[in-house]
Amino acid sequence: MKTSLPPVLRAWSLVMALWSIFYINADAKTSPEWTFTLNCPPNVTVSCTAELWNLSIYGNATYTYGPYTYSAGAPSVHYYLNSCNTGTITRTWMVEDYNWQWHSCTQTIYVTATGSGGPGITWPEDLELEGCNPNTNPNQLSPPYNYPTWAPSQCTMLGKSYSDMTFTVNSQCKKIMRTWKVMDWCSYDYGSGAGMYTHVQWIYIISKTPPEVTCPAEITVNSFNCKNAQVIVPPLMIDPSVCGGEFAVTNNSPYSTSKGNDISGTYPIGTTKVTWSVKYGCNKTKTCTTNVVVVNASKPVPYCLGTITTALMGIDTDNDGKVDDGMVEIWAKDLDKGSKSACGYGPLKFSFSKDVTHTAKVFTCDNIGKNLVEMWVTDSKGAQNYCLVEVIIQNNGANIPDCHPLPPPVDSVHRVAGLVASLTDTPLSGAAVTMKYRDAIKSYQITRDTTEELQLDSFINLSGYKLYRYILVKKITEHIDSTVTYIQKTAVTDSTGRYKIDSIGVYNKVVDLTATYTDDVRRFIDNKDVELLTKFLLGEVTFQSYYQYLASDINEDGKIDVADQNLLMAFVTGQSQQLPGSHQWYLLDARATFAHPEDVLTGTVPLTVTLDSIPKPDPAVHFIAVKKGNISVDPGSLVPQNTESRSLTMFGIKAYPNPFADDLHFEISVPEASESLLEIYNSNGQRLIQKQYHLVRGSNTVKIPTHALPYGLIVYRWTTGGRTETGTAVRIR
């Protein structure tokens, strides 16, 4: 804005100018000389938050003329500010002097962004969310957990962004590191990073719902080596409904081969309490306990006298002073010849039956002659075994009158009976026991022919002369015809596993007894047997019982090798319909023992029980049943032949081939169309596959590609209509 001199001053200036013209030469140096000066306020620097509209607070311009000072008036103002409200403001004054000349000056106000510590930002707080996959988008979160906030400012232009990094401990425990960045557009410097503000917000995703864990209360196996036994336990099944079912499982068993979701291993005789620990959420643990019981199934080794002879003592039963009967008492321990416990479980008890209190036996006149008795040996753990002793009772000292044995029963002179059972005394029904005489039995038929013929006879008469005559003489000719007969008798075990061969007429000859049994060739044999045989060949497990060695020798060549594994695998997978060799079942003499379990492969398998004769009382001949190929199943879990071991009441499922090298197939039959859920887990209990299938009524086939499954054991579970069927399969290389 331009400013002119006031009228009075302008008139005065005119007078002074004229005076100067007329008197300048009179006294030039001493005449007063007035100057004109325009005075501007100084430049200033202010904050963008300062007052930028009432600029007079930063000063105003004046001008002086001579001794007088006047206001320069209102300036011309120009704002040069950016969007951040920083820049410059100019104030310009213009004044016209008494010579009609214009004077100007400018004040510059510098506006800057000032302050320390940056803008006042309130950052989102850390957050804990419960569940499996809650929504963590800031749009779905409420304050103060969603976005950073700040107070409005004239000096800043703030923008926000974030990025997430997810750290997964397990499916129930995750941590999100959300990095927030707020940039001040007005002050950001790329080189120094000034104007960029950063904060880390932690979001915890935790499931506090414990999984459903079911573990067996007790697992019982038998030990035959007096020390330990190999225990094979399926992986722990965990309900996967909690966040997908990926759980870390450990066990505290000192004997397990793996410390994860498999407590299989070699356990000592006794009870080992094993605790499974299932970690879920963030460092939460659920436990369950299984008692692994290893029972000492080894029996004591009985040694007894082969024969003892003793005489009856006479007794007077009617007190008439005459001996009329006899008796002798024999103690079972007197028949012992050094029996021992294979495991050192003493002291031993001796009895005449399984009843350990039956320690003595009384013999009378009814027992004159040979008596075959059983001497039972019982160790401190209750295991029992027995041997046979021939006790000969004589009446040669007391001369007891009318002392003789009772006559044999009319219906049967002699008989043989016994039991066919598994190693744990489970009866096997439908087994055939055959008794065959080792030598042929010869019978003789004698016939006699009588004839008469004349024979010349001589005699001397009274006169001393020798005379001759013919007489009629009878001649008898004896003919002996022999017949050779091979006698054989067979009996079948009943539902209790017992048999009896009676009506034995010839009892003083050597006989051989054998037993046979047949059933469904695939019964009790599955991929678990292949897996256990594979582990044995790899050295991961050892067999504790001779029956496992015998059952593993598939080709019956006296050794266990890869050839047996291939044959068993081909049979289980359906590539072959029958195992090779001459035996489906081995039925062994129950009294058989082996110094080492593997000796059964190199020695003679005791499939025949030989008796030198059929004594009285009736001898007991027992057999133990072992099925070839049935390696992993407890031998005591045999089921009678007319009983199904499993019933599928809901639907039928077949996994094939099993074991498998290529794709795994499921054949599923359902009574009506339905939705079905397939879940597949590895040996650690981790779920590998969860997929829904629509099944049509009748038969359905589902194929699982090989690349989706790991090598080794897998567990599958089909759920339809709220019911579940579970099974296992093995992928091989």
Within this chain, do residues 242 and 340 fall inside the same structural domain, yes or no? no
What burial letters (b/e) apply to 211-237, b meaning 16+ CB within 10 Å?
A: bebebeeebbbbbbbeebbbbbbbbbb
Within this chain, do residues 471 and 524 fall inside the same structural domain, yes or no? no
pLDDT at 479: 53
pLDDT at 307: 85
Q: Is residue 434 part of a domain?
A: no
Question: What tokens appear for 503 in the block?
Answer: 């009506």
pLDDT at 26: 39
pLDDT at 642: 33
pLDDT at 508: 78
In the chain, the percentage of residues whose pLDDT exceeds 90 is 15
Specify the 3-state DSSP secondary structure of 527: helix
- Is residue 555 within 8 Å of residue 580, measured between CB atoms? yes
DSSP annotation of 340:
B
**H or E element in which residue 362 lies:** strand 360-364
Q: How far apart are CA 82 and CA 100, in angstroms?
A: 39
Chain mean position to CA 727: 13
- What amino acid occupies position 375? M
Chain mean position to CA 612: 52
pLDDT at 450: 59
Within this chain, do residues 530 and 629 fall inside the same structural domain, yes or no? yes
- Is residue 307 within 8 Å of residue 389, measured between CB atoms? yes
Look up the CATH number of the domain holding residue 24: 2.60.40.10
Closest of 490, 509, 514, 507 to residue 439, by C-alpha: 509
Distances (CA, A) of 2 to 8, 11, 77: 19, 20, 13
Q: How far apart are CA 141 and CA 164, in angstroms?
A: 15
pTM, two decimals, is 0.41
pLDDT at 638: 33
Total number of domains in the chain: 7
pLDDT at 271: 93
Q: How far apart are CA 624 and CA 425, in angstroms?
A: 8
- Is residue 298 within 8 Å of residue 383, measured between CB atoms? yes
pLDDT at 3: 54
pLDDT at 441: 64
Q: Is residue 570 part of a domain?
A: yes
Within this chain, do residues 340 and 365 fall inside the same structural domain, yes or no? yes
- What amino acid occupies position 458? S
Domain-ending residue, one of 58, 92, 112? 112
Reported as half-sphere exposure (CB side, CA atoms, 13 A), residue 584 has a value of 14
Could you tell me which residues come within 8 angstroms of residue 600 by beta carbon, excluding any fewer than 6 positions away? 546, 549, 550, 594
Question: What tokens appear for 441 in the block?
Answer: 């039995």
Low-confidence ranges of the chain (pLDDT < 70): 1-32, 114-118, 154, 240, 244-245, 397-399, 405-413, 423-425, 441-486, 505, 540, 617, 633-651, 683-685, 713, 733
pLDDT at 641: 34
The pLDDT tens digits of the residues spanning 610-667 come to 888 887 767 888 898 888 888 875 443 333 333 232 333 345 788 888 777 788 889 8
pLDDT at 684: 57
Could you tell me which residues come within 8 angstroms of residue 359 by beta carbon, excluding any fewer than 6 positions away? 331, 332, 333, 349, 350, 351, 352
pLDDT at 426: 73
**H or E element in which residue 531 lies:** helix 527-537
Could you tell me which residues come within 8 angstroms of residue 9 by beta carbon, excluding any fewer than 6 positions away? 65, 98
Torsion of CA 13, 18, 20, 21, to 10 degrees: 150
pLDDT at 21: 44
Q: Is residue 412 part of a domain?
A: no
Q: Is residue 645 part of a domain?
A: no
Look up the CATH number of the domain holding residue 690: 2.60.40.1930
Given the structure tokens 């020695």, which residue do they identify? 603
Distances (CA, A) of 729 to 528, 577, 660, 671, 709: 8, 19, 8, 25, 11
Within this chain, do residues 354 and 455 fall inside the same structural domain, yes or no? no
pLDDT at 109: 92
**H or E element in which residue 276 lies:** strand 270-280
Q: Is residue 506 part of a domain?
A: no
Within this chain, do residues 83 and 153 fall inside the same structural domain, yes or no? no
pLDDT at 519: 85
| Domain extent at residue 27 | 2-112
pLDDT at 576: 83
pLDDT at 367: 86
Specify the 3-state DSSP secondary structure of 545: coil
